[in-house]
Structure 1
Amino acid sequence: MARNPDAIERDIERARSALAATIDQLSVKANPQRLADNAKTSVQAKLEEPKVKFPLIGAGALVAALLIRKLVR
């Protein structure tokens, strides 16, 4: 059964609009600045967790003590 050319054109236009909307969504999601901001926020949130924050402070203090000890000798 043959389709009406007008119906085919409407289907093509709907598909074109849907594709344009999808491309717009992908461009927003793949924006490098947005990705960097999300990564930064994620890392900051992780570093604020006590189970991560305090061991890092301890490791920093240990490194500082070892450096001071090495410089004094």
Structure 2
Amino acid sequence: MARDPESIQSEIEKTRDALADSLDALTDRANPKRFVDSGKAQAKQKLEDPRIRYALIGVGVILAAAILKKLFS
């Protein structure tokens, strides 16, 4: 059964619009800035955990003490 050209054209336009929407969504998801922002947010959230914060402070103090000892020995 033959289809009329207007119906075919309408389907092509709908498919084109759907493809454009899909490409826009993929472009948004693959945006490097989004990955950077997400990584920053995750790092900030982890640093807000007192266990991690105090552990990093402890490591910093130990490193500073080791450097000072090396400089003044």
- Helix, strand or coil at the partner of 2:3: coil
Q: CA deviation at 1:60?
A: 0.8
Q: Match of 1:14?
A: 14
Moved more, 35-44 or 55-64: 35-44
Following superposition, the deviation at residue 8 of structure 1 comes to 2.3
- Three-state SS of the structure 2 residue aligned to 1:8 is helix
Q: So what's the TM-score if we normalise by structure 1?
A: 0.83
The RMSD of aligned alpha carbons is: 1.5
Equivalent residue of 1:3, what SS?
coil
Unaligned runs of 5+ residues in structure 1 are: none
Q: Tell me the residue number matched to 1:30.
A: 30
Give the Cα separation in 1 of the matches to 2:51 and 2:2: 67
Count of residues in correspondence between the two structures: 73
C-alpha distance in structure 2 between counterparts of 1:10 and 1:51, whole Å: 60
Q: Partners of 1:51 and 1:3 in 2: how far apart?
A: 68
Deviations 1:20-48 (A, max 9, x none): 01111111222222221221121111111
Which residue in 2 is equivalent to 1:52?
52
Percent of aligned positions that are identical: 42
What is the CA–CA distance in structure 2 between the aligned matches of 1:51 and 1:15, rounded to whole Å? 53
Q: TM-score, normalised by structure 2?
A: 0.83
